């Protein structure tokens, strides 16, 4: 995997994490958190799909590796929702 493929993988993970955060209605931080959330979503979503016997719905190949987009978004949304249950809501400006 070269540098361009790695950067592309980071961009895709960031987009998936951002979409998941917007679905749940939370925004914890910036780009790095969205990227981390995208990778956590891949792990959680793929595990969930394998446990339930579901196929990969939409995946892309980056650097010879498969990145399941839909399961990344679903896993990241579940993780973000669970994280939202255990954290206090932040009050912004008043």
- Across the chain, which has 94 residues, the per-10-residue mean pLDDT values are 88 91 78 90 92 88 87 92 79 65
Per-residue pLDDT, 70: 92
In a domain, residue 91? The reply is no
Residue 90: what pLDDT? 66
pTM (whole model) above 0.75:
yes
The answer to whether residue 6 is domain-embedded is: no
Number of structural domains found in the chain: 1
Query: Do the domain assignments include residue 19?
Result: yes
Q: Considering the domain boundaries, does residue 47 fall inside one?
A: yes
DSSP 19: H
Task: Identify the domain containing residue 49 by its residue range.
Answer: 11-85
How would you label 51-81 residue by residue, b for 16+ Cβ within 10 Å and e otherwise? eeeeeeeebeebeeeebbbebbbbbbbbbbe
CA dihedral 89, 15, 69, 81 (to 10 degrees): 0
41 in a domain, yes or no?
yes
Rounded CA-CA distance 81/77 in Å is: 6
């Amino acid at each position: 995997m070269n540098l361009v493929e790695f950067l592309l993988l980071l961009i895709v993970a960031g987009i998936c994490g951002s979409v998941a955060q917007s679905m749940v209605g939370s925004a914890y931080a910036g780009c790095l958190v969205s990227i981390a959330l995208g990778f956590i979503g891949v792990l959680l979503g793929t595990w969930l799909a394998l446990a339930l016997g579901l196929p990969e719905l939409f995946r892309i190949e980056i650097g010879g590796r498969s990145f399941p987009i839909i399961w990344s978004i679903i896993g990241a949304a579940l993780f973000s929702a669970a994280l939202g249950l255990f954290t206090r809501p932040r009050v912004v400006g008043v």
